[in-house]
Amino acid sequence: MKNHTLTGPKGFRVSAVKAGIKASGKLDLGLIIADKPCVAVGMFTQNKIVASAVTVSKEHLSNNKAQAIYVNAGNANACTGQKGHNDSVTIAEKVAELFELTPENVLVASTGIIGEMLPMGNVLNGIEKAAEKIDQGSRGAKRFAKAIMTTDTKVKTAYAEVKLGSKIVRLAATVKGAGMIAPNMATMLCFITTDVNISPALLKRALKDTVEITFNKVTIDKHESTNDSIFALASGLAENNKISKQDLNYRKFAKALWEICDDLAQQMAADGEGANNAVTVKVAGAANATDAHNAVRAIVDSPLVRCAFHGADPNWGRIVSAVGFSGAKFNESKLSCKIADTFVYRNGKPADFDFKALSKQMKEKEWQVLVNLGAGKHEDFCYTCDLSRDYITINADYHT
């Protein structure tokens, strides 16, 4: 059986421990240590309020090299001022000291509640414990995937292999995110390890292009976080001929990267806070890309639409009226909507359909909404989920 975790690609060691940052006492602190400096790229939240971990990691990525990543869940270390910033710097220094690295080669990520100071005693002890356990192989990587969870109910990992010339290149990724999810340019926390041999510029390009059509297409609650970060570390140990132009090998690698990120993006939507259904909303027939985007977002950002999903109610009026206020151009006499492959509105008129049968289909785990604006050839899509009472419970009854 293959080692389908962050330690699958050659050259990475991973561990996680219970550091006492999460109130629950669960796993909450993880480390990724590469055997040697990696080509490293990252993308971050576009929120103007950013966590200190984001500021520090951006700085440390300026040379596109990194050898270690620290992460904690349970505390975002955001809106914590100069003290919070100093804590992130101290964390990078501590990891560097234990593994004999320079602090600039250590990246830092945090997720959890905003506005509280990290319990630095627990954090520093946790880093020492995690350093001791760094040689546990895939067991450490599995614990890592658990340690980054906050309101996630499921571990989210993906793995791919691709043959470049005679060499097998491995890619692994793990992600967290279930609430405060509406990524913009980057997303939640995501960690990617790969042993591909690639130039920094092309790793960056592959990551950016991929994020745009995977994580940036997920929305759970339209609330863009202060801590979103995605990191990719490439060890080069697959020993493929170095990818340094956009050739066939680049495209094969980029496709594998897209596959694992798309897989994770769909896992995120399915595990949205309180979610029962993963729903893909697609808009076709738009006059331009902006219209396609705006129409999709008006639909998925409407709590009324997502309550109808939750109630397995094929209430297409809410979907069509969201298109109406989206600002997107449409041809009303061609405007159509399908829910789970059934026409509910066709060419500007209500369609006849079996309400009960369709409602039953909407109770399934995964289905699609397809809207055609009848105004052009552009398309866009979004991964989302239903809006349930459990979402309210998670976000009203707990101080997270």
Enumerate the active-site residues: 187
Contact between 221 and a copy of itself by CB under 8 A: the answer reads yes
Contact between 49 and a copy of itself by CB under 8 A: the answer reads yes
Nearer to a copy of itself, 57 or 151 (CB): 151
Contact between 19 and a copy of itself by CB under 8 A: the answer reads no
Site for a copy of itself in 175-204 (CB under 8 A): 179-180, 182, 184
Contact between 364 and a copy of itself by CB under 8 A: the answer reads no
Residue from 37, 119, 200, 348 touching a copy of itself (CB under 8 A): that is 348
Contact between 345 and a copy of itself by CB under 8 A: the answer reads yes
Q: How far is the CB of 399 from a copy of itself (least distance, A)?
A: 5
Contact between 331 and a copy of itself by CB under 8 A: the answer reads no
- Give the count of residues interacting with a copy of itself (CB under 8 A): 63
Segment contacting a copy of itself by CB under 8 A, of 161-169, 194-202, 223-231, 375-383: 223-231
Contact between 119 and a copy of itself by CB under 8 A: the answer reads no
Q: How far is the CB of 97 from a copy of itself (least distance, A)?
A: 30
Nearer to a copy of itself, 140 or 179 (CB): 179
Segment contacting a copy of itself by CB under 8 A, of 98-106, 145-153, 341-349, 364-372: 341-349
Contact between 224 and a copy of itself by CB under 8 A: the answer reads yes
Under a CB-based contact definition with an 8 Å cutoff, are residues 43 and 230 in contact? yes
Interacting residues toward a copy of itself by CB under 8 A? 46-50, 76, 78-81, 113-116, 179-180, 182, 184, 221-226, 301-305, 307-308, 310-311, 313, 315-318, 320-325, 330, 332, 345, 348-350, 386-389, 391-399
